[in-house]
């Protein structure tokens, strides 16, 4: 199953060339991940860290291309990590950036990775199956 959300960049997110700065792309994906995991794990503060992220910039995003859409879906769930495929699209639906990310469940008190709970794993696995 693909999950989507809308991202509204600020005017200051665009550089002097008129396009979205490179620093905003990972921020947009991160905002979407937090919303996705809040929804799936039914928690206000999903505890995870980004272990890896690889992005491909496919098309520039101009200020008039907003609002932006982020679409993501899990493609693999491990003991404590999940791989996501993510797309950042302009308002017309054109894919502007493609990302592959690995998130790791995080134990906030111990400051290290932890296994997914059964509920967390089931929520992610259900989206792969859908």
CATH number, domain with residue 92: 3.10.129.10
CA distances from 2 to 68, 82, 95, 128 (A): 16, 15, 14, 9
Estimate the crossing angle of helix 118-129 against helix 24-41, to 10 degrees.
110
pLDDT band at 20; cut points 50, 70, 90: very high
Span 56-80, pLDDT tens digits = 999 999 999 999 999 999 999 999 9
Torsion sign across C-alpha atoms 90, 92, 94, 100: positive
Provide the domain limits for residue 78.
Answer: 3-129
CB 44 within 8 A of CB 38: yes
What pLDDT shows up at residue 115?
98
pLDDT band at 1; cut points 50, 70, 90: confident
As for how many domains the chain has, the answer is: 1
Strand pairing of 68-77 and 95-107? unpaired
The SS3 assignment for 72 reads strand
């Amino acid at each position: 199953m693909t999950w989507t959300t809308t991202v509204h960049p600020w005017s200051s997110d665009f550089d002097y060339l008129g396009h979205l700065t490179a620093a905003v792309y990972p921020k947009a994906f991160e905002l979407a991940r937090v919303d996705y995991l809040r929804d799936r794990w039914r928690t206000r503060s999903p505890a995870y860290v980004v272990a890896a992220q690889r992005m491909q910039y496919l098309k520039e995003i101009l200020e008039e291309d907003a609002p932006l859409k982020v679409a993501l879906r899990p493609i693999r769930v491990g003991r404590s990590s999940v791989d996501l495929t993510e797309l950042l699209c302009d308002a017309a639906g054109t894919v502007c950036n493609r990302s592959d990310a690995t998130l790791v469940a995080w134990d906030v008190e111990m400051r290290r990775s932890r296994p997914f709970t059964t509920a967390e794993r089931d929520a992610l696995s259900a989206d792969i199956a859908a």
